[in-house]
Amino acid sequence: MNELFPGFERHHVEAGRGIVIPAVVGGRGAPLLLLHGHPQTHAIWHRVAPVLAEHFTVVAADLRGYGDASKPAGDADHGNYSKRALAADQLALMRHLGHARFDVLAHDRGARVAHRLAMDHPEAVRRLVLLDIAPTLSMYAQTTDAFARAYWHWFFLIQPAPLPERLIEADPAAYVCEVMGRRSAGLAPFDPRALAEYQRCLALPGAAHGLCEDYRASASIDLVHDQADRDAVRLLQPPLLALWGEHGVVHRCFKPLDEWRRVARQVEGEALPCGHYIAEEAPQALLAKVLPFLAQGEEG
C-alpha cells in the first residue's frame, strides 16, 4: 500500500475498547482527516493525497469494519457500528496524533461518519467537505423506486445476519467489482493497485460483517441520533462544502444543497463532472474546489 502513498508513514492507533484504526500520515501544515466509503479503504485518496500533503498534514484512515481496521462483532442495536462510534474512533486517532482541531474531507460512508463527528464534536472540526451524499435521514425518508433500484446494496446489506455476509464472503472480489462497476463510470477510473486493495480487504475475516453492520446501524440507531438532532434543532457548526457527481444517483434523486441546509449552519457546494467516486474519477476538479475552501479562515 505504501506505493500508493509514497513518503507517507503508516500508523496503527488504539482508539479504545480494543479498536485499532490504521492510517497513513504525510505532509506538513494544518491537520486534514480523510475518510473513505464503501466498499473501499483509505486507498481512495491516492490521487489527491500528494497534492493535499503540500498544504496539510494529511491523515488518511480506515473506518472501523473496513480496510485493516478492527472488525468487532455487531451488537443487538448495532450501536458499535453507529456513526457515533465510528466518529469517536477517528477523534481518538487524531488526538493520538496530536491534533485537537482539524479539517475533514470525507466520501460516502466516511462522509456520514464525518457528519456525526462534526455534530457530536464541533470543537474538533474546523471545516468539513462531504462527497456525494445527502444526510442519511433525508435519503431514507425520500427513498423512491429509482433510488432503491440504484442503491440496492442499502437494502441488501441491512438484512439480518448472516445472509448478506455469506453471499459477500462467497466471492468478495466479485462483490467489489459489481458494486463499483455498476456506477456511471464502470471500473475504468480505478488504479488496479487500489482495486486489488479493496478486494484484499473485503476478503479479510470479519470484513463482510463489518460492512453490513455499518449499513444496519445507518438504518436503525443512526436514524435515532439524526432525528434527535432535528428535533432539538441542532445544526452542524463548521462551514460545510458539499460536492457530488453530476452523473451519480445523489444528483439524480435528491437536492443535496437543500438537504444540507436543513442540518448545517453554513453550506456551499455543487455538482462535479463525474460520478460517485469523485476522488478517483475527478481528482483535479475535486482539488480545485477543496483547496480554496479549506484555505478560508486558516488559523495561524
Residue 300 within a domain: no
Parent domain of 243: 2-295
pLDDT > 60? residue 184: yes
- Asked if 229 is an active-site residue, the reply is no
Residue 222 within a domain: yes
* Catalytic option among 38, 115, 209, 276: 276
What DSSP string describes the chain? -GGGSTTPEEEEEEEETTEEEEEEEEE-SEEEEEE--TT--GGGGTTTHHHHTTTEEEEEEPPTTSTTS--PPP-TT-GGGSHHHHHHHHHHHHHHTT-SSEEEEEETHHHHHHHHHHHH-TTTEEEEEEES---HHHHHHT--HHHHHHTHHHHHTTSPTTHHHHHHHH-HHHHHHHHHHTSTTTTTTS-HHHHHHHHHHHTSTTHHHHHHHHHHHHTTHHHHHHHHHHHTT--B-S-EEEEEETTSHHHHH--HHHHHHHHBSSEEEEEESS-S-HHHH-HHHHHHHHHHHHHTT---
Residue 79 within a domain: yes
* Catalytic option among 62, 68, 108, 214: 108
Question: Average of pLDDT values for 245-274?
Answer: 98
What pLDDT is attached to residue 2? 74
Number of domains making up the chain? 1
pLDDT > 70? residue 240: yes
- Asked if 115 is an active-site residue, the reply is no
pLDDT > 80? residue 1: no
Considering the entire predicted model, what is its pTM?
0.98
Question: Average of pLDDT values for 279-283?
Answer: 98
Instruction: Give the CATH number, domain containing residue 74.
Output: 3.40.50.1820
What pLDDT is attached to residue 297? 67
Q: How confident is the model at residue 300 (pLDDT cuts 50, 70, 90)?
A: very low
pLDDT, tens only, 97-150: 999 999 999 999 999 999 999 999 999 999 999 999 999 999 999 999 999 999
Residue 32 within a domain: yes
Residue 38 within a domain: yes
